Amino acid sequence: MSNIKQAIVDPSQVDSELIKALEQAGIDYVVQDEVAIKKNYRAGKKQLVVVDKKGDALDTCATISDHYICCNVKVLKSISNCPYDCSYCFLQNYLNDGNTKVVGNDTALIEEVKEACFKQPDRIFRIGTWELGDSLALEHETGQAQRLITAFRDIPNAVLELKTKSDSVNPILNCDHQHKTVVSWSLNANTIVETQEHKTARLQERLIALKKVTEAGYLVGLHVDPMIYFEGWEADYESLIRQAIQATRPDQIAWISLGSLRFNPEMKKKIETNFPASTITYTEMIRGNDGKMRYPKPLRMRMYGHVINVLADALGCDDLSPQTGFDKPLFYFCMERWDVWHDLLGASPTSIQDLDYLFAQSLQSRFFPSLPIPNKADYAV
Amino acid sequence: MQLKSLKNISSPTFFSKHRAYFDLLGSLSSLDRLFGYAFYYDDTLFCLTSHPKHTTSFPYLVLDYHPDYFALDALLFAYSASTWPATIKARFLAQAIQDLPDRHGVLQLMPFMGLVAHQSVLSAYLNIAKLPSLLLTYAQQKKVSYKQLVQITRYESSYLAWFATDILAYIKPSCSVLLHLLESMHDCFHRLGGIEALVTALDLPTLIHNDADSETRLHRINDTVFQLCYPTQFKYNQEVRHCVKALHLPDSISVTWDDSLETKGFTVSLDISKVDDLNDLSLLAAKKESFKDLLEAMVYV
């Protein structure tokens, strides 16, 4: 359970399914028209604001930069802010309103998703609910993921990704997911979980939850991101990878991503102010071509290389490149340069669209053989 | 601020409770005025601004003021406090917090400085006032802004005290270099685990050797801090430089690369101003294998 103690509900949402979930969770709520903006992102973490869907909720994830390849995943903005308090979280520098807001109108969210997916029926959409919050941290209070899982089951060409640092999986274990939902974890070395990922489920709790959803037949995703440099990182990340692979089944792992710490330059000051005990900003960093601070490339490559070797060993797979076949979990870098891909995996996607296409090929051949074989043109490759 | 009257004064007296404030304002250039400002306190007329020495009688506008603030509001008005540098505002507020009976009174003075009367803003200025005196004075000279000063207050006071006495006292950096040095050394201070380790890693006695001028010292400090703060970039750039040197290229050919190491590859430039220079094209072709080695040096696996 999270620390949410009360909720404010927009009058338009009083009949929504979400209200039933709130009542079941024993959360007191008031119905109120206007909710004052919270300037501090931490101030809004203990109170839930149930809002109507306003404008488009479906978007494409994060930064699009010519220099760094991203995976072109779509994001459904169903939640804003998060009960957790990770030192490196970009929300502390991003949110204009610190209220934890959840869209109560699931039906409208689903309608928007369906409209987009039905317009391009030959394309496989990956859609995550994690861009501005955690997909499962508030599941006990909102029940939103359960309703989305059920809805995505009936959209043939869409896969829902629920990404979390929680262990709140019990409410979704009995959902009829039909393998159309990937439950994924943001994982990190135990030292980082203990010192930087405040209020989240501990690593062992996350791994137990990973085991539970694997046994419930879900596809799973593993995101080792952001990798953070510290004394003894090699052993800690190796241990993480081996435990994570052991907690699940390789044939149910849809994808595995790797990324390293990166943030906008102004975030450094925010982190140092909000988390004075954290030392993550003191490691050597450079300013990348996308304007973000990150470790220098030789250090990133050393860290990635180590994890890739351990992963290959743990999965019993010599070659992790997604370009050499789909008989393995799709491995990818989050926001990395083409030459990092090339030098570590022997090949690189030619573009963001190409990586999107590789995802579609992997999903279709491994999990959805009844769908048509993806066509490059549908992905603008 | 209300004006009460206009008086001609020949022998002005200053208010004793304003002495500390005048000491602060001494660092500001004096204004060339056609009149002065003054105020009445217990039926005695006190000056807020100085008296031109070449005149025996000089016109003074007598200001009204709030009785709880020792006429500090009038003083701020007389000196156009909203135009002051952030360092002076900070010092003034820090003095006022000692002199006035409560924080509320100090907050009421802030609009005279062009500031919002808000607790968080006052706290930020009071933190600025706690910066080491040498650093504050230098920041004022270099016109370091309020926002930049607030960022400096994030650093531990022990680190700032060390920086002021052991580094800043020996160099004269520009505003941007000062801020960069503060940030880089602070990163190293934490990475290495404290001042003692930082002093050792910098080899500080050599850096600030007395026979060097401040420009040479600054140059040495910048180089050493770069090596210490960016060891990966330093190491790999050195390697690339060695590779380029080993190419033995004529002066007309130059090789440049991204020293942040992000962009893979390099650029070869060839200056051609006469026909003979074109011979260098065949030299480039002959060095193809060496250039390949250079590209290999940019693979960091």
The ipTM (two decimal places) reads 0.89
Distance CA B167, CA B161 (A): 10
Chain A residues lying within 8 Å of B123, measured CB to CB: none
In order, the DSSP letters of B60-118 are EEEEP--GGGTTHHHHHHHTTGGGS-HHHHHHHHHHHHHHSSSHHHHHHHGGGGT----
Question: For residue A7, what are its two tokens?
Answer: 């909720």
- What angle, 0 to 180 degrees and rounded to 10, lies between the N-to-C axes of helices B279-286 and B288-296? 50
CB A343, CB A337: distance < 8 Å? no
Q: Which residue of A has its CA nearest to B192?
A: A282
Chain A residues lying within 8 Å of B151, measured CB to CB: 269
* CA distances (Å), origin A16, targets A12, A367, B188: 8, 33, 53
pLDDT digits (tens, 9 = 90+) for B175-193: 999 999 999 999 999 999 9
CB B123, CB B133: distance < 8 Å? no
Low-confidence residues of chain A: pLDDT under 70: 1-2, 63-64
CA B281 to chain centre: 49
Q: Which residue of A has its CA nearest to B153?
A: A273
> Residue B29's pLDDT band (boundaries 50, 70, 90)?
low
CB A263, CB A271: distance < 8 Å? yes
Phi and psi, residue A170, nearest 5°: -55, -40
The closest CB to that of A343, out of B229, B263, B299, belongs to: B299
Q: Going edge to edge, which strands form the sheet with B44-47?
A: B3-9, B58-63, B36-41, B44-47
Give chain B's end-to-end CA distance (angstroms, integer): 70
Question: Would strands B3-9 and B58-63 be described as parallel, antiparallel, or unpaired?
Answer: antiparallel
Q: Break chain B into its structural domains and give their ranges.
A: 3-127, 155-229, 234-296
Whether residues A301 and B151 touch (CB distance < 8 A) is answered with no
Whether residues B151 and A269 touch (CB distance < 8 A) is answered with yes
* CA distances (Å), origin A134, targets A189, A191, B208: 19, 21, 51
Sign of the Cα pseudo-torsion (A186, A190, A191, A195, in order)? positive
d(CA B85, nearest CA chain A) in Å: 23
CB neighbours of residue A104 within 10 Å: 29
Residue with tokens 């420009």: B215
CB B182, CB B123: distance < 8 Å? no
Closest residue by Cα to residue A152 from A171, A127, A121: A127
- Probe site for chain B from A269, A282, A336 (most B CB atoms < 10 A): A282
Angle made by CA atoms A214, A218, A223, in degrees to the nearest 5: 75
- Domains of chain A, each with CATH number or no CATH: 6-379 (3.80.30.30)
Chain A residues lying within 8 Å of B262, measured CB to CB: 67, 286, 288-289, 296-297, 337
Distance CA B272, CA B184 (A): 41
Question: Would strands A79-80 and A181-187 be described as parallel, antiparallel, or unpaired?
Answer: unpaired
- The answer to whether B300 faces chain A, any CB pair under 8 Å, is yes
Whether residues A282 and B191 touch (CB distance < 8 A) is answered with yes
CB neighbours of residue A118 within 10 Å: 12
* pLDDT the model gives residue B33: 75
* pLDDT the model gives residue B30: 59
* CA distances (Å), origin A139, targets A4, A26, A79, A164, A214: 11, 13, 11, 11, 18
Assign residue A296 a region (left: φ > 0; alpha: ψ between -120 and 50; beta: otherwise). Answer: beta
* pLDDT the model gives residue A331: 98
- What angle, 0 to 180 degrees and rounded to 10, lies between the N-to-C axes of helices A144-153 and A17-24? 140
Q: Which residue of A has its CA nearest to B227?
A: A284
Q: Give the CA dihedral A357, A363, A366, A372, nearest 10 degrees.
A: -80
The closest CB to that of B187, out of A282, A296, A343, belongs to: A282
> Residue B32's pLDDT band (boundaries 50, 70, 90)?
low
In order, the DSSP letters of A161-172 are EEEESS---GGG
CB neighbours of residue B15 within 10 Å: 20
The closest CB to that of B231, out of A284, A287, A344, belongs to: A284
pLDDT digits (tens, 9 = 90+) for B203-241: 998 888 777 899 999 999 999 999 999 999 999 999 999
Question: Would strands A253-260 and A330-333 be described as parallel, antiparallel, or unpaired?
Answer: parallel
Distance CA B216, CA A336 (A): 40
- The answer to whether B147 faces chain A, any CB pair under 8 Å, is no
pLDDT digits (tens, 9 = 90+) for B80-113: 999 999 999 999 999 999 999 999 999 999 999 9
- The answer to whether B47 faces chain A, any CB pair under 8 Å, is no
CB B240, CB A297: distance < 8 Å? no
* CA distances (Å), origin A277, targets A165, A167, A196, B200: 21, 26, 9, 24
For residue B151, give every residue at least 6 positions away whose Cβ sits within 8 Å of its Cβ, in sequence order, or none: A269, B179
* pLDDT the model gives residue A268: 95
What pTM, to 2 d.p., does this model score? 0.90
Helix, strand, coil: what percent of chain A each, to 5? Answer: 40, 20, 40
* pLDDT the model gives residue B31: 61
Work out the percent of chain A whose per-residue pLDDT is above 90.
Answer: 95
